[in-house]
Structure 1
Amino acid sequence: MNQHRIPVYRPDLSGNVKAYVNECIDSSWISSRGRFVGEFESAFAAYIGVEHAASVCNGTVALHLALLALGIGPGDEVIVPTLTYIAPVNAISYTGATPVFVDSLRSSWQMDPEDVRRHITPRTRAILAVHLYGQTCDMAALAAIAREHRLFLVEDCAEAFGSTYAGRHAGTFGDIATFSFFGNKTITTGEGGMVVTNDKTLNERARHFKGQGLAAHREYWHDVVGYNYRMTNIAAAIGLAQLERADEIIARKRDLAQQYARRLAGLPIELHAEAPDTQHSYWMVSILTERAEAREPLRAALAEAGIETRPLFYPVHTMPMYARSYRKHPVAEDLAWRGINLPSWPGLSGEQIDHIAHSIASFCSRSA
């Protein structure tokens, strides 16, 4: 590997991160109590425009907690896109419910509302909309389907912090929504997540389950089987410092996508486009090769040039534990076999983008 080693992601930990973390250490408030937990929750809720936000230790448990709060369990079906990271599908399985996979829209890569309609059965309890790579789902269509069939609507916004649909933030359309703050997310706490809702009862249920099922008015008395899903004060301190710079980080990531678009124009490469009436936060800048057979050779050429990439997520219905009732989802499969995530961290320089674009152009010219 040569000297131009460019990772696919690197968090930006500037701002008040060190000062806030040092305050936790100096005060000895390093676990799940301390001022930063409540401040981060309140600030996050205000930023995206919801009433309630409950912090948790990672994005996967946020999904589990959201489904628990809704009472999802054995015998229920939850509709979910197959083109997704595996976490939302696993969270459905944790509850004992059955994930039901649907295909994607070719235009936006998000779950196809008409395919959602086709998969509703008497056992369907919820639609779990995953906002993929920073683009939002068609929330008007999904919300209408949920109302028509009296289904819960859950939003997985792990990849969509800062994304908007019709002027509203992702996470404000469903009954309940979740976020991830893993190290490669737009804002990070290292590991962490958030469950958000406008429903007071759902917020109380989520908080009850995440704190070991501790009863509200009796010390060390537990009245449900709960979980230790709490966020630490140190993680919340990092999150609050990150949130203070959220607008700056999102603007830099959107500019990064625009720079890629300019430099890759004219090549046989398709960038993940911003859908109408949305703001794509470009958690990952992603491209499609013309043919599936070109994807891995292009990735190998970029690796040789010192550039790390990732493939798009493999459709979950193709994985052994979820292939019991295998069926084709042609759009999701086509996208997955042709897609690549490019380096997408906000500190990526123009020189580095030039190097990536030049490497892609060189590969395309050799393969023509």
Structure 2
Amino acid sequence: MTSDPLRAYERAFAESVGTAHAVSFWKGRVALYAILKALGVGPGDEVAVTGYTCVMAVNPILYLGARPVYIDIEPETFNMDAASLRERISERTRLVIVQHTYGYPADLDALTKAAAERNLSIVEDCCLALGSRYRGRPVGTFGAAAYWSSQWSKSYTTGLGGMATTGDPMLAQRIRGVWEEASEAGGAAVVMLRMQLAAYRMLVFPRTTSLAQRIFRWLTRAGLVIGSSTTEEFSPVMPEGFLRRMSRFQAKVGLRQLDRFERSADHRRRLKRFYDERLAEAGWRVPGIRPECDPVLVRYPVRVRDKAAALQAAARSGVELGSWFESPLHPIQTPLEAFGYVEGCCPEAERAARETVNLPLHPRVSEAAARRSVELVCRIGPPDDSR
């Protein structure tokens, strides 16, 4: 009898990230929702979250009737600042979501200590950090649970896809209970996803990325493809059909991708070293890494003097350059108040959103393509105070 690919993928994924239990979902944000619900988050609770993130990582908090509390970032690492966390948590704070931004492990010593002082659980946001380690341990194994994404822009892609992981068997049972409530992925959606993955493999390369993204966004708005986010998901109100399971097709793709991941991770490490060396030679201050961190980056962040000019130059010249995070709650620009964010509450995050672009690291990026990316950002120049 053929084994269930969903269960096979969950077992393989749990083993790959060093934990005991994994539960698969349609998207990473759905996995986060399941974790929060399983942990009992609800009305009146507060959840601490970085102020430099994707709005889809905040909405599950709102869907459950809780309130996000935004924590500023360390400018060197783009990760949550433990001092800011201590200042902003209250007696209503239920847990802390620790994001490993761009793949750089957060300061887990300081953050777990700050959380423990108030008896708060930690959930790790590992959507950008597959393969990263902190003090020799995989990220995702330091809190009560973690969630992961295999959406288009992540370390590997199943088109869409999410995973909740935990080492706690009782919590795993409760997350599985939320999974039981979720709907199956529809046949039409799976067929469309299959076609999109085939097109992605054939058409998306560093020189074509900008054009491909523009076409993809237009097709998404027209309802002709499955986008990373539906229009309804940009609202703090939970859309119909949000709670959905991963399809067997995605699980089969995920199993193949896991087998290839270590080669991809080695490629990402080599390109990161290349970017570090070339930018340092040009006099740039490269992102700071603590000695206890061993990152596998999904993208390489660089602060520039004029972000809009950098992105326009990249689009004109066929150089792949990422824009996120474009705001403290990417990609939302205004009004952020609908999501509980007050302008000015996270000044370092807001500055990072104004200044930071990101360079590609995925397996289709050659050293020649990486060199073009470095040359472009060097033409734009760093912020005045970053040399």
TM class, shorter-length: 0.7 to 0.9
What SS does the corresponding residue of 1:245 show, helix, strand or coil?
Answer: helix
In the alignment, the residues of structure 2 paired with residue 341 and residue 72 of structure 1 have an alpha-carbon distance, to the nearest angstrom, of 34
Report if aligned partners of 2:94, 2:120 keep a CA contact under 8 Å in 1.
Answer: yes
Cα distance, 1:269–1:321 mapped onto 2, change above 3 Å: farther
Report if aligned partners of 1:102, 1:115 keep a CA contact under 8 Å in 2.
Answer: yes
In the alignment, the residues of structure 1 paired with residue 103 and residue 283 of structure 2 have an alpha-carbon distance, to the nearest angstrom, of 23
CA offsets, 1:267-321, max 9 Å, x none?
Answer: 35443343321111110111012x4xx2211222222211132223111397242
Counterpart residue identity of residue 248, structure 1: R
Counterpart among 301, 307, 315 of residue 303 in structure 1: 315
User: Is 1:280 the counterpart of 2:317 in the alignment?
Assistant: no
User: Is 1:261 the counterpart of 2:273 in the alignment?
Assistant: no
Number of the residue aligned with 2:357: 340
In the alignment, the residues of structure 2 paired with residue 165 and residue 287 of structure 1 have an alpha-carbon distance, to the nearest angstrom, of 22
- Report the count of equivalent residues: 321
In the alignment, the residues of structure 1 paired with residue 23 and residue 53 of structure 2 have an alpha-carbon distance, to the nearest angstrom, of 24
In the alignment, the residues of structure 2 paired with residue 58 and residue 337 of structure 1 have an alpha-carbon distance, to the nearest angstrom, of 28
In the alignment, the residues of structure 1 paired with residue 265 and residue 131 of structure 2 have an alpha-carbon distance, to the nearest angstrom, of 7
User: Is 1:187 the counterpart of 2:187 in the alignment?
Assistant: no
What SS does the corresponding residue of 1:311 show, helix, strand or coil?
Answer: coil
Cα distance, 1:50–1:264 mapped onto 2, change above 3 Å: same
Report if aligned partners of 2:30, 2:242 keep a CA contact under 8 Å in 1.
Answer: no
In the alignment, the residues of structure 1 paired with residue 303 and residue 352 of structure 2 have an alpha-carbon distance, to the nearest angstrom, of 7
In the alignment, the residues of structure 2 paired with residue 360 and residue 145 of structure 1 have an alpha-carbon distance, to the nearest angstrom, of 37
Report if aligned partners of 1:77, 1:124 keep a CA contact under 8 Å in 2.
Answer: yes
Bigger Cα displacement from structure 2, 263-272 vs 345-354? 263-272
State TM-score, norm by structure 2: 0.78
Number of the residue aligned with 1:8: none
User: Is 1:242 the counterpart of 2:257 in the alignment?
Assistant: yes
Bigger Cα displacement from structure 2, 274-283 vs 153-162? 274-283
Report if aligned partners of 1:58, 1:192 keep a CA contact under 8 Å in 2.
Answer: yes
Counterpart among 113, 116, 127 of residue 158 in structure 1: 127
User: Is 1:92 the counterpart of 2:61 in the alignment?
Assistant: yes
Unmatched tracts of structure 1, length 5 or more: 1-26, 215-225
Unmatched tracts of structure 2, length 5 or more: 184-240
State TM-score, norm by structure 1: 0.81
User: Is 1:66 the counterpart of 2:30 in the alignment?
Assistant: no
Number of the residue aligned with 1:221: none
Number of the residue aligned with 2:346: 329
In the alignment, the residues of structure 2 paired with residue 123 and residue 71 of structure 1 have an alpha-carbon distance, to the nearest angstrom, of 13
In the alignment, the residues of structure 2 paired with residue 245 and residue 35 of structure 1 have an alpha-carbon distance, to the nearest angstrom, of 21
Cα distance, 1:307–1:201 mapped onto 2, change above 3 Å: same
Residues 1-368 of structure 1: matches in 2 within 5 Å? 35-212=4-181, 228-267=243-282, 269-289=284-304, 291=305, 294-313=306-325, 314-316=327-329, 319-323=336-340, 325-364=342-381
Cα distance, 1:210–1:146 mapped onto 2, change above 3 Å: same
In the alignment, the residues of structure 1 paired with residue 337 and residue 86 of structure 2 have an alpha-carbon distance, to the nearest angstrom, of 26
Counterpart residue identity of residue 76, structure 1: D
Report if aligned partners of 1:158, 1:181 keep a CA contact under 8 Å in 2.
Answer: yes
Bigger Cα displacement from structure 2, 169-178 vs 329-338? 329-338
What SS does the corresponding residue of 1:179 show, helix, strand or coil?
Answer: strand
Number of the residue aligned with 2:219: none
What SS does the corresponding residue of 2:143 show, helix, strand or coil?
Answer: coil
What SS does the corresponding residue of 2:281 show, helix, strand or coil?
Answer: coil
CA RMSD of aligned residues (A): 2.4
Counterpart residue identity of residue 251, structure 2: A
CA offsets, 1:72-92, max 9 Å, x none?
Answer: 000000001111111221111
CA offsets, 1:10-66, max 9 Å, x none?
Answer: xxxxxxxxxxxxxxxxx9x9xxxx522111111111111111111111101011011
In the alignment, the residues of structure 2 paired with residue 160 and residue 187 of structure 1 have an alpha-carbon distance, to the nearest angstrom, of 11
In the alignment, the residues of structure 1 paired with residue 371 and residue 156 of structure 2 have an alpha-carbon distance, to the nearest angstrom, of 25
Rg (Cα) greater in structure: 1
Report if aligned partners of 1:267, 1:364 keep a CA contact under 8 Å in 2.
Answer: no
Cα distance, 1:243–1:303 mapped onto 2, change above 3 Å: same
In the alignment, the residues of structure 1 paired with residue 124 and residue 169 of structure 2 have an alpha-carbon distance, to the nearest angstrom, of 17
Number of the residue aligned with 1:7: none
Which protein has the bigger helix share? 2
Report if aligned partners of 1:211, 1:229 keep a CA contact under 8 Å in 2.
Answer: no
Report if aligned partners of 1:270, 1:287 keep a CA contact under 8 Å in 2.
Answer: no
In the alignment, the residues of structure 1 paired with residue 276 and residue 182 of structure 2 have an alpha-carbon distance, to the nearest angstrom, of 49
